[in-house]
Amino acid sequence: MVEISYHMAGTFPRANLSDGISLLNISVELSPLNEPFTAIPENKRAVGSIANIPNFIDTGLVEAHFLDYLQDKATVSFPWSMIDKITPRPDAQVQELLRADGFDDNETIITSRNTYTAPLVNAEEAEYLVIEKDFPNGCPPLDLGGVMFTDRETVDNVERMKVCTCLNPLHTALAIHGCLLDYTLISAEMKDDDLRNLVTQMGYLKAMPVTTAARSSPPPLTLCWQNCSRL
């Protein structure tokens, strides 16, 4: 793996290096057997590394026919996916609650690159994962765990609805105006009548007329869920 990374470091942008290594593993393990497989990118509407396949082949690490294998849609698929799961850094209040329950060894560790980690994960209860149903080798029963399978257009619409209208713009508005009013928590900002009215009007009066509808999650219901539960 070190040798692979060395050869590819000058060919791929830093962000795509792991994708390139994954493609190399696929070429070694699957392409000689013409085995079907599905690669699901995390929260990506397209696999960025596919555009770099010609450069990847130029490294000499794989055969040229590998490109034909990857482009055979009957054998290989790269379904679009969209995940919404906010997981902030470890929270001191959550750590105190755990200490009260006897979980004392839960201190936050800050790495040399300023990454915060701890033996706990505090995250909001709300979550959903939408995946394009495109599996040449059979679809795994992920829907039993709550995953929503749909077509590519709906995956795209769900992401646009969340990112462009129903959540991200409201978060941004609360973050900026809340900081000006000395708030440090989104949940506290939503208790402020003026801020709550701001995002409510943004959502229903400004966003709804232009939002992208998604069959799996109608915009009005999604917006109500964001405002009334998540925020």
In the chain, pLDDT over 90 holds for what percent of residues?
Answer: 23
Check whether 1 has a pLDDT greater than 60. no
**Residue 49: what pLDDT?**
46
Provide mean pLDDT across the span 102-108: 92
Mean local confidence (pLDDT), 2-10: 35
User: What tens digit of pLDDT does each residue of 46-87 get?
Assistant: 554 454 455 555 566 666 677 777 778 888 888 888 888 888
Report the predicted TM-score, pTM, of the whole model to 2 decimal places: 0.73
Across 149-158, 169-178, 217-226, the highest mean pLDDT is recorded for 169-178
The answer to whether residue 144 scores a pLDDT higher than 90 is: yes
pLDDT value at position 177?
95
Q: What is the per-residue pLDDT for 128?
A: 84
Cα–Cα distance for residue pair 57/26, rounded to 1 Å: 13
**The two three-digit tokens of residue 14, written as one number:** 């830093």
Give CA–CA dist 88/83, Å, rounded.
15
Q: Which residue has the higher pLDDT, 158 or 17?
A: 158
The pLDDT score that the predictor gives to residue 3 is 34
